[in-house]
C-alpha cells in the first residue's frame, strides 16, 4: 500500500526559507527553541512535558488549517520526543515506516516553523525526505519497508566494523513501524531477516489498534492479549521470530518511553519495543456524547485507552468524508481534511467508488461469489462503513497487503467467484509480480478498480502517472479507460460477468483493469448535468448502459467525424480533446477535427485507425500519464510499421503523421496539476500550436 492519501499534504513546491514567526497555535516557547535533537536533550524534565503539549496543540491546529496525517502523529508525539531525547540522530539512524508519522520528527530536526507558520506550511512534504534534512533517511510513502531498510543499514555498519573497525557513521539503527503497517508482508520478511542477522537493531512497534480503517488479520488477537497482559501473554509473535521483546503499556507517557529507549540503546541484538499508543491523542471527542474523554495529562494526551473494537469493522462508524476526526479508532483521523474543505462535494475517488459499490451491491443477493476486496484505504475510495456493513461477506479488507489482495482474488476467481480488487494506482505497484503471475499468467477472471490514476499534484510517492505503462503492458490484461459514468458502469458490468459466462460470447477472457475516472471527467459530467448519485444506481434508476460483448467494449468510438486532423484522447484527457476540437472549429482558419474516445489502452482498434488514412494527415494522441512506454507511442508505432503500400491504387497511400502528448518520465513532488499540464503541453494552446506547425510547417 502505502498509507492512504485522500488529499495532498502539500500542493506546491517550496524551500526551507524565512518568513514571519506567526504561529497557528498559542505560545510555543519550548518548541520555537528547538533547532535540532541536541535541544531536546538539553530540556529539563518539566520542559520535556511542555514540549509534548506544545507539539500536540500545534498538530491539532495544523490539521484544522492545513490537513494531513494528523491522527497517527498525535499518537506518536511522546515516542518521537523520547527517541530524540535518547538517541543521537543522524548518527543513530531512525527509519520511519511509510513516514507519514514523521511530522513530530520534522519539528524536532529544524523544521518546526513549517507547522507553526501558515505562510511556510508548504515548505516540507508529508513524508521523510533526505533532501530536506540529514535526519531523514529515505523518501518513503508506502508501508512495511522500515525493518528491511533498517536491516540494510545495520548490515553495512556491522560488516565494515568487522573488517576495519569503521562503523560507516552509523550507531543504533531504529525502525519505527505501526499504524497498521505490521500486517504488510514485507514487514514479516524484515522481522525474519532481523532475527537471523543479529546485531544492534531496535524495532519500535507503534500499536494504536488501527490501520487506515480497522486492523485485520489473525495477528491482532495475540497483540490484544499482549496488551491485556502487559506484554507477558503467549503466543508472542515477536518471540516466535526469535526476537527480544519489551512492552510499554502507556505509549503516550514520555517518561516511560525515555526509560524504555535508554534500556535498549546500544543493545547488541535485535529487540522489539512494543508501545501502546492512542491514535489521535488530544483530539476532541465530538459532540454526540457517545465518547467520553479521559483526563488529559500535562502533555495534552489522554489516558492511553482506545475504544473497544466493535465488530465487524474493528473501528467506530466514522466515514472519512462525513465526520470530524477524534481520538481512538477513528478512520477520519488518519487523514484529516482542512476545515476549509469540509462539506465539499465528493472527489472522484469517493464519487466513482460509491457508484461502483452501489452497482455491485444490487447483485449481492443473487451472486454469492461476488466479492469486493480492499487492501486497506476503503473510505478514501468511496467504500463507506454503511456499504461494508450491508455487504457482509461480500466485502473483505485484507489490511495493507496489496500483493496478498491480488493473489487472494486470483484464488476466488479460480474457484468460480467474481472478485473486484479496489485501491489506489500507486499502491498497486506493490503487487507487480502478482499481476503477472497469479492474475495474468493464470488468466484469472478478476476485476481491478484503479483509483487516482494519471497526473496529479500529489507527492512523489503517491503519483498515479505510471499506471497505464504498468497495466497496459502485462500480457493478457484488458485495461478499460472510461470517460463517463455510463461507460464506467458498463465497463464494470462487463468485467464482472459471472464466472459461468467464461467462454460465452462477449465475456472477458481474463483480468480487466478499470481506470476510475478523475477530476476532469467528474467536472465535465457535473457541468453537463450527467452526474449520477449512488442512491440512483443502487435503486436501479440511473440510465446506464448494459455491458456489451468483447468486440464492442474494445472498439474505439468516433464521437465526432471530421477530416484532416484526428484527436484520440485517452481517459481523463477527453475533456481537453473536446476543448481542442471546439477551438479548432471556431478558429480563423477552421479545422473540423475528428474526435475519438479509444475507451481502452491495451489493444489497438486497427479498423478505426486504418479508416483515418483516407482523409486525415495528422493523428494526435493525448494521455495524462507517462508518455514513454505508454499508450500513445503504440499508435505511432502502428502507423510507422504499417505504412500503406504505394502499389495499391484503390487505397490512399497516405500514412498520417502522429503527435503524442503526455507526461515526461520523471518523479514530480507536489507540483500543481495545472503546472504539470503546462509543462507537458497538455493545454489547448499548446496542442493547437503543434497542430498548426505540423500542418503548415510554421510555428
Rounded Cα distance between 598 and 103, Å, is 43
Does the N-terminal peptide bond of residue 644 adopt cis geometry, omega within 30 degrees of 0? no
Check: CB of residue 625 under 8 Å from CB of residue 454: yes
Give me the sign of the Cα torsion angle 378, 380, 382, 385.
positive
Considering the chain, what is the average pLDDT of its residues?
87
Label residue 243 by pLDDT band (50, 70, 90): very high
Q: Are strands 594-597 and 557-560 parallel, antiparallel or unpaired?
A: antiparallel
List domains and CATH numbers for the chain.
20-276 (3.40.50.970), 348-551 (3.40.50.970), 557-696 (3.40.50.920)
- Please report the pLDDT score of residue 12 as a whole number: 27
User: Which position has the higher pLDDT, 400 or 477?
Assistant: 477
- Please report the pLDDT score of residue 593 as a whole number: 98
Instruction: Give the lowest-confidence range in 118-132, 242-256, 584-598.
Output: 118-132
- Please report the pLDDT score of residue 675 as a whole number: 94
For the segment 564-574, the average pLDDT, to the nearest whole number, is: 98
Which one, of 183, 104, 189, lies nearest residue 143 by Cα? 183
Give the percent of the chain with pLDDT over 90. 65
Label residue 317 by pLDDT band (50, 70, 90): low
- Please report the pLDDT score of residue 606 as a whole number: 96
317-344 burial, b if ≥16 CB within 10 A, otherwise e?
bbbbbebbbbbbbbbbbbbbbeeeeeee
Q: What is the pLDDT of residues 1-18, one digit of tens each?
A: 334 333 333 322 223 333
Check: CB of residue 478 under 8 Å from CB of residue 489: no
Q: What is the pLDDT of residues 105-163, one digit of tens each?
A: 999 999 999 999 999 998 999 889 999 999 999 888 888 889 998 999 999 999 899 99
Q: What is the pLDDT of residues 257-269, one digit of tens each?
A: 999 999 999 999 9
Q: How many C-beta atoms surround the C-beta of residue 614 within 10 A?
A: 11
Does the N-terminal peptide bond of residue 235 adopt cis geometry, omega within 30 degrees of 0? yes
Amino acid at each position: 500500500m502505502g498509507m492512504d492519501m485522500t488529499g495532498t499534504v502539500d500542493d506546491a513546491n517550496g524551500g526551507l526559507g524565512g518568513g514571519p514567526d506567526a504561529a497557528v497555535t498559542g505560545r510555543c516557547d519550548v518548541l520555537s527553541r528547538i533547532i535540532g535533537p541536541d535541544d531536546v536533550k538539553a530540556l529539563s524534565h518539566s520542559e520535556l512535558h511542555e514540549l509534548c503539549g506544545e507539539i500536540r496543540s500545534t498538530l491539532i491546529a495544523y490539521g484544522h488549517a492545513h490537513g494531513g496525517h494528523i491522527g497517527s502523529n498525535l499518537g506518536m508525539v511522546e515516542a518521537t520526543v523520547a527517541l530524540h531525547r535518547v538517541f543521537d540522530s543522524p548518527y543513530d539512524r531512525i527509519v520511519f515506516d511509510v513516514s507519514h508519522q514523521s511530522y513530530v520528527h520534522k519539528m524536532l530536526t529544524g523544521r518546526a516553523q513549517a507547522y507553526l507558520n501558515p505562510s511556510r506550511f508548504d515548505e516540507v512534504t508529508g513524508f521523510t525526505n533526505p533532501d530536506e534534512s540529514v535526519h531523514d533517511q529515505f523518501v518513503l510513502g508506502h508501508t512495511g519497508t522500515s525493518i528491511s531498510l533498517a536491516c540494510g543499514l545495520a548490515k553495512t555498519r556491522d560488516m565494515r566494523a568487522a573488517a576495519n573497525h569503521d562503523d560507516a557513521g552509523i550507531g543504533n539503527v531504529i525502525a519505527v513501524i505501526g499504524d497498521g503497517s505490521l500486517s504488510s508482508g514485507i514487514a514479516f520478511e524484515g522481522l525474519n531477516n532481523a532475527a537471523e542477522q543479529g546485531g544492534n537493531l531496535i524495532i519500535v512497534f507503534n500499536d494504536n489498534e488501527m490501520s487506515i480503517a480497522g486492523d485485520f488479520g489473525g495477528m491482532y488477537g495475540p497483540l490484544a492479549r499482549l496488551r491485556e497482559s502487559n506484554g507477558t501473554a503467549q503466543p508472542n509473535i515477536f518471540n516466535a521470530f526469535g526476537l527480544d521483546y519489551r512492552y510499554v503499556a502507556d505509549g503516550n507517557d514520555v517518561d516511560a518511553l525515555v526509560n524504555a529507549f535508554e534500556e535498549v540503546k546500544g543493545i547488541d541484538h535485535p529487540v522489539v519495543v512494543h508501545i501502546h499508543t492512542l491514535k489521535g491523542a488530544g483530539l476532541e471527542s465530538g459532540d454526540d456524547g457517545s465518547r467520553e474523554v479521559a483526563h488529559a495529562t500535562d502533555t495534552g494526551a489522554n489516558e492511553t485507552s482506545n475504544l473497544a473494537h466493535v465488530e465487524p469493522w474493528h473501528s467506530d462508524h466514522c466515514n472519512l468524508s462525513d465526520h470530524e476526526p477524534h481520538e481512538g479508532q477513528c478512520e477520519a483521523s488518519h487523514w484529516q481534511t482542512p476545515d476549509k474543505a469540509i462539506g465539499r462535494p465528493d472527489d472522484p475517488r469517493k464519487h466513482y467508488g460509491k457508484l461502483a459499490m452501489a452497482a455491485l451491491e444490487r447483485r449481492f443477493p443473487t451472486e454469492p461469489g461476488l466479492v469486493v476486496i480492499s487492501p486497506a484505504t476503503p473510505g478514501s475510495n468511496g467504500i463507506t462503513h454503511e456499504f461494508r456493513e450491508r455487504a457482509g461477506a461480500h466485502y473483505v479488507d485484507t489490511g495493507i497487503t496489496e500483493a496478498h489482495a491480488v493473489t487472494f482474488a486470483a484464488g476466488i476467481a479460480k474457484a468460480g467467484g467474481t472478485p473486484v480488487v479496489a485501491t489506489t494506482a500507486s499502491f498497486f505497484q506493490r503487487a507487480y509480480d502478482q499481476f503477472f503471475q497469479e492474475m495474468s499468467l493464470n488468466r484469472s477472471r478478476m476485476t481491478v478498480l484503479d483509483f487516482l490514476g494519471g497526473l496529479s499534484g500529489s507527492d512523489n510517492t503517491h503519483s498515479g502517472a505510471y499506471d497505464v505503462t504498468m497495466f497496459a503492458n502485462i500480457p493478457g490484461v484488458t485495461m478499460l479507460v472510461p470517460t463517463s459514468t455510463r461507460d464506467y458502469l458498463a465497463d464494470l458490468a462487463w468485467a464482472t460477468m459471472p464466472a459461468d459466462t467464461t467462454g460465452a460470447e462477449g465475456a472477458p477472457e481474463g483480468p480487466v483493469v478499470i481506470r476510475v475516472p478523475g477530476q476532469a471527467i467528474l467536472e465535465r459530467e457535473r457541468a453537463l448535468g450527467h452526474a449520477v448519485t449512488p442512491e440512483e444506481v443502487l435503486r436501479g434508476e440511473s440510465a446506464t448502459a448494459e455491458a456489451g460483448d468483447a468486440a464492442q467494449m474494445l472498439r474505439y468510438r468516433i464521437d465526432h467525424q471530421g477530416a484532416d486532423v484526428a484527436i484520440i484522447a485517452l481517459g481523463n484527457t477527453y475533456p481537453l480533446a473536446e476543448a481542442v476540437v471546439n477551438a479548432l472549429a471556431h478558429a480563423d482558419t477552421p479545422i473540423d477535427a475528428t474526435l475519438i474516445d479509444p475507451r481502452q489502452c491495451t489493444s489497438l482498434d486497427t479498423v478505426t485507425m486504418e479508416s483515418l488514412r483516407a482523409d486525415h494527415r495528422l493523428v494526435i494522441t493525448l494521455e495524462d500519464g507517462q508518455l514513454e512506454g505508454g499508450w500513445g507511442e503504440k499508435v505511432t508505432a502502428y502507423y510507422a510499421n504499417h505504412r500503406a503500400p504505394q502499389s495499391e491504387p484503390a487505397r490512399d497511400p497516405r500514412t498520417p503523421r502522429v503527435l503524442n502528448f503526455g507526461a515526461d518520465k520523471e518523479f514530480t513532488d507536489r507540483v500543481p496539476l495545472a503546472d504539470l499540464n503546462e509543462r507537458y503541453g497538455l493545454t489547448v494552446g499548446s496542442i493547437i500550436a503543434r497542430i498548426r506547425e505540423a500542418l503548415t510547417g510554421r510555428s
